[in-house]
Amino acid sequence: MLILLPPSETKRAGGSRRPLDLATLAFPELAPQREQVLAALEELSTDAATAARVLKLGATQLGEVDDNARVRSAPTMPAVDRYTGVLYDALDAASLDSSARGWLGRNVVIHSAPLGPVGALDRIPTYRLGAGTSLPGIPPLRRVWAAAVAEAFAAASPGFVLDLRSEAYAALGPVPASVPAVYVRVVSEGEGGAVRALNHFNKHAKGVLVRRLATDRPRIGSLAGFVRWADAAGLRVRDGAPGELELFA
């Protein structure tokens, strides 16, 4: 099973002195797209005022322009440790034992805007770039990434994909029809059985789900297998729209 996660706008600073090495990242065939986006990000960073406008940075966030300028030489850490925020706080990967972290490394991919999908334990620097940002000098990120990422997913041929990304990041790399996959929406049930999608608790529920998977380390190769595991784990899921699964928080 391959699990796809979104990144987070907030990130942990620091890391080891090992700089970014594109050759070590998952899906190495995406190197041309990674080079293209990184080069545009570095070029944008030569003009702080323009960078702040394009990246929609406030006065207290201007240091993130410097992060982008140093993206190839800055310290790195595993992607699953780099990101913070609701989802990653709930996942709390740093507190997992080596077996659980190893499972994350084999089964979890985090979809970043500048680097595309990277493995959970792939080492990445801090940066500022969101899925909806248009970088000067290159096509929109969706055009840069979507077809190439879909081809990379198809070539990897995972037995089953659990897509926990936001819609913005799913658009940067659709899972091709040839790969068995389901898109997960987190919902709650209100009075009269009415179901509504969640925002904050959506992220929290996804982090809790991935942590539970990493600690249980079930062998799942299909949607039916995931549903059986979820039922046994006390998680409530049901079919949603075509191609989607609803997870109740």
- The pLDDT assigned to 249 comes to 87
Query: What's residue 227's pLDDT?
Result: 97
Burial class of 95 by CB neighbour count within 10 A (0 to 12, 13 to 18, 19+):
exposed
For residue 200, the model assigns a pLDDT of 67
Q: Residue 247: its pLDDT value, please?
A: 95
Q: Which of 248, 217, 210 is nearest to 91 (CA)?
A: 210
Instruction: Give residue 59's pLDDT.
Output: 87
Per-residue pLDDT, 198:
60
CA dihedral 162, 206, 15, 136 (to 10 degrees): 70
In this predicted structure, what is the pLDDT of residue 189?
Answer: 79
Q: Tell me: the pLDDT tens digits for 30-39?
A: 999 999 999 9
Parse the chain into domains and list their residue ranges: 2-248
| Residue numbers of the chain with a pLDDT score lower than 50 | none
Spatial separation of the C-alpha atoms in residues 201 and 87, rounded to whole Å: 9
